[in-house]
Amino acid sequence: MPKRVLTGTVVSDKTDKTVVVKVERRVKHAMYGKIIRRSKKYHAHDEGNEYKSGETVRIEETAPISKLKTWKVTGRVDTHATPTKPAAKSKAKKEEAQAEA
């Protein structure tokens, strides 16, 4: 059986070698059809105490480490990637067209 992998936000890093990760999911209400956010907190193993509160991390299911910990942090998720702006591309094309005319 493959290991489950989830992505969430660290909400607590106060305990030694452990972080609490909040994982949100969106579900559709059965009767009304509205999209609802549901969340769950997981205690995950952080061997080097390197992840801080507020960071987005990826966690992987593992064999039980303690009473609460059955997940380990596998790495950070790059949330600050700068996407290319389509407006900037079209602006450059307009400038080229004006230069040619």
CATH classification of the domain holding 74: 2.40.50.140
Tell me, yes or no, whether 87 lies in a domain: no
Tell me, yes or no, whether 26 lies in a domain: yes
User: How crowded is residue 74: how many other Cβ atoms within 10 Å of its Cβ?
Assistant: 14
What's the pLDDT at 40?
A: 98
49: left (phi over 0), alpha (psi -120 to 50) or beta: left
Tell me, yes or no, whether 44 lies in a domain: yes
d(CA 101, CA 95): 10
**Block means of pLDDT (10 residues each) for the chain, length 101 residues?**
94 97 98 98 96 97 97 89 60 68 62
Tell me, yes or no, whether 88 lies in a domain: no
User: Which strand (E) or helix (H) includes residue 58?
Assistant: strand 56-61
- End-to-end CA, the chain: 63
Whether the CB-CB separation of 20 and 74 falls below 8 Å is answered with: no
Domain count, the chain: 1
What range defines the domain where residue 68 resides? 5-79
What's the pLDDT at 78?
A: 84
Tell me, yes or no, whether 96 lies in a domain: no
Tell me, yes or no, whether 97 lies in a domain: no
